[in-house]
Structure 1
Amino acid sequence: MRYMNPGYVSWLERNTALAVQEETGNPYAKASFYVTKEKTCVYRLNLEKELYIKASLWLYSTSSTYTSCYIGAGTGYFSGVVFNKRDSDKWKAGYANSAWNIGCNVVREAEVKDNALNEILLHFDGEKIEAFVNGTCVLDRSWTNKDIDLVIFSDEGKGHWSNLIISDEPIDIREHVIELPVTLADVTMAEQEDGGYSSNKAGQILQYVLDAETLIKKYGEDSLVTGIGFQAEKAYRNGDLLTRLEEYLQAEDGTEQNIGSMSLPTTDGQVILGLSAEDITLADMADKKLGYRSS
């Protein structure tokens, strides 16, 4: 299982956040969000398996008065990481107590950066919770809860969240979700007046050329691709003949690699998301095409 979100509100399981679309807050994808304390739950999690959660938080030094940002499993004792700031003081990070204040026994003082991304990693193994801020462990305690809400909050202009990754396999704290430019290359579906596409027969495709070269120039050809995600706006079905979209990568020689599928809902306007875990480099993605096939 691997969930990845560069910072889009519409990709959250519980759409309670407010969107921010600017490079400040997330220079990787120009998308981030904030969540007020009244609507904090963004994802429901089951901890039967080992689980890792990664997120990035851009903290603003201009914040005045007392303010805080938080990410964790619910809002109880020792449940996550809180960032606090008062007036002109610097931001501080630690574990959260019931008041969501910094705990008094921080394992080590974490370096917190103003006007920059701070990287947070949570790890649950069924017996304990670990939390890291910019590579420094700030929480390491027993934890046996199974069903939890992933709670995130911050106020606008004080802290913006992005790069949300949830996985049952280890996550490198340096991982970021980056948009990959694509260009439509081949289509056998019917184009609609609104610019969308419809399919009335299994096997019809939408195929795109991946612009991996743009990312190679910026990040290097050896950068590891740990997952691929797809968003389809207003994807739905109006019958039972076609119920899924299959996703594949096609090599230059025509060889196809199936990388996942997603069920089509019956509700018009529904946003669906397909995700797959990969382990290839950016160089491996050069000259490949991405396709959707109705089934």
Structure 2
Amino acid sequence: MAFKYINPGYAELLSVKDGATVIGEQYSKTGVSFWQPTYYKGLNLSEVPPELYGRFDMYIKDTEQGGNAKLSFAIGGYKIIEAEKFWSTWKIRGSNNNEMLAVGDAVRVKEICSVWFHIKPGENGNGVFHALIDEREVCNMSNAYVGYLTNSDAKTIAILTNNDDILISNLILSDEEISPREQVITLPVKETQTNMTDCGDGSYEATAANQEILQSVDVAALSAKYGTDSRVTGISLIGNPAYRTAEGLCALTAIEKSGGNITEYGRHIVEQNPTSVVMDARSASMTIAELTGQQFGWRAGT
């Protein structure tokens, strides 16, 4: 299957429209985070993943108004991670709530907390459930019951935060291994090349098919912060907002230019809603230094 989903913290990038994006660096390393209150909804996949890796950041505000706050990640009826306040005590549980991962003061509130997990199906005492919180291992089982493959909802990763007292950001999901240290960062732009119309507010408007926008990365700035040898394990292009502006134009195709050659990736139909967002994500394997000379962007089409 081989999928990789990368979301800095936009509710609009989920497969359900009931969530909300929250702006604020106090809640997220990326500056954006979301909450999503609809049960059994989240991210729709084209196939059932044979196993699932995930990492995300969460911020628990722990306000009096958020007393019934709850976070849940699940697939096919199998509850991967849940965080909830019972009376006055926060608890984080995993593996269908059979394993207590953190409780009480071990659950960080009013600060950003990172969670990593790996699950692999097994219904005969051979399933895998592995979890880390803030890079500390809290559970590692190879004899768990992990049964989701035949469930009718196994193509949906359910992501729930029933109010804005718990916010999610820095979300990466994949059916291939991801490191607990992976995180989503915004690439600083060095230069923009486009034949689209510059709207003067950081946005660009395509008025004809095959118009393109390509942006190069400020590798020097990125290297100064993370080091030239740091690994790039995935690339996500986000158009925010991205919506139809001309009759006949309805799609954006993610493109990458390197050494004069342009490679096309996913084609995405855009909506007419002015607040719509599109994203194209894929796995990658390179260093920050190897981003030099690369350009990333979109091509408008019908």
The partner residue of 1:71 within 57, 70, 73 is: 73
- 1:47 aligns to what? 48
Is 1:229 the counterpart of 2:262? The answer is no
Distance 1:42 1:6, change over 3 A: same
Q: Aligned-pair distance for 1:88?
A: 4.6
8 A Cα contact 1:49 1:126, kept in partner: no
Using the size of structure 1 for normalisation, the TM-score is 0.78
8 A Cα contact 2:121 2:149, kept in partner: no
Q: Aligned-pair distance for 1:7?
A: 0.4
The partner residue of 1:13 within 7, 12, 15 is: 15
Query: Structure 1 residues 222-231 or 129-138, which shifts more?
Result: 129-138
Query: Structure 1 residues 114-123 or 16-25, which shifts more?
Result: 114-123
Distance 1:192 1:150, change over 3 A: same
8 A Cα contact 1:220 1:282, kept in partner: yes
Percent of aligned pairs sharing the same letter: 23
Q: Aligned-pair distance for 1:279?
A: 0.7
Distance 1:116 1:201, change over 3 A: closer
Give the Cα–Cα distance (whole angstroms) in 2 for the partners of residues 154 and 294 of structure 1.
Answer: 35
The partner residue of 2:107 within 93, 98, 112 is: 112
8 A Cα contact 2:187 2:218, kept in partner: yes
Q: Aligned-pair distance for 1:8?
A: 0.5
Give the Cα–Cα distance (whole angstroms) in 1 for the partners of residues 9 and 271 of structure 2.
Answer: 26
Q: Aligned-pair distance for 1:129?
A: 5.4
Q: Aligned-pair distance for 1:11?
A: 1.0
Using the size of structure 2 for normalisation, the TM-score is 0.76
Give the Cα–Cα distance (whole angstroms) in 2 for the partners of residues 243 and 285 of structure 1.
Answer: 26
AA of the residue aligned to 2:59: W
Q: Aligned-pair distance for 1:130?
A: 2.1
5+ residue gaps, structure 2, are none
Distance 1:182 1:235, change over 3 A: farther
The partner residue of 1:151 within 148, 158, 163 is: 158
Give the Cα–Cα distance (whole angstroms) in 1 for the partners of residues 192 and 278 of structure 2.
Answer: 22
CA deviation vs aligned residue, 1:36-82 (integer Å, no higher than 9, x gap): 3x5551112432533323322223455675643222225x4x52211
8 A Cα contact 1:25 1:117, kept in partner: no
Is 1:59 the counterpart of 2:69? The answer is no
Which secondary structure state, in structure 2, belongs to the residue aligned with residue 79 of structure 1? strand
Distance 1:220 1:113, change over 3 A: farther
- 2:120 aligns to what? 124
8 A Cα contact 1:41 1:150, kept in partner: yes
The partner residue of 1:189 within 179, 196, 207 is: 196
Give the Cα–Cα distance (whole angstroms) in 1 for the partners of residues 199 and 67 of structure 2.
Answer: 52
5+ residue gaps, structure 1, are none
Give the Cα–Cα distance (whole angstroms) in 1 for the partners of residues 80 and 278 of structure 2.
Answer: 29
Which secondary structure state, in structure 2, belongs to the residue aligned with residue 176 of structure 1? coil
Distance 1:109 1:30, change over 3 A: closer
Give the Cα–Cα distance (whole angstroms) in 2 for the partners of residues 291 and 65 of structure 1.
Answer: 43
8 A Cα contact 1:262 1:272, kept in partner: no
Give the Cα–Cα distance (whole angstroms) in 1 for the partners of residues 199 and 102 of structure 2.
Answer: 56
8 A Cα contact 2:27 2:59, kept in partner: yes
Which secondary structure state, in structure 1, belongs to the residue aligned with residue 266 of structure 2? strand
Distance 1:14 1:138, change over 3 A: farther
**Pairwise CA RMSD of aligned residues?**
3.3
8 A Cα contact 2:75 2:148, kept in partner: no
Is 1:263 the counterpart of 2:268? The answer is yes
AA of the residue aligned to 2:93: G
The structure that is strand-richer by fraction is: 2
Give the Cα–Cα distance (whole angstroms) in 2 for the partners of residues 163 and 226 of structure 1.
Answer: 14
Give the Cα–Cα distance (whole angstroms) in 1 for the partners of residues 291 and 160 of structure 2.
Answer: 36
8 A Cα contact 2:191 2:217, kept in partner: no
Query: Structure 1 residues 147-156 or 277-286, which shifts more?
Result: 147-156
AA of the residue aligned to 1:30: G
Give the Cα–Cα distance (whole angstroms) in 2 for the partners of residues 68 and 246 of structure 1.
Answer: 35
Q: Aligned-pair distance for 1:205?
A: 2.5
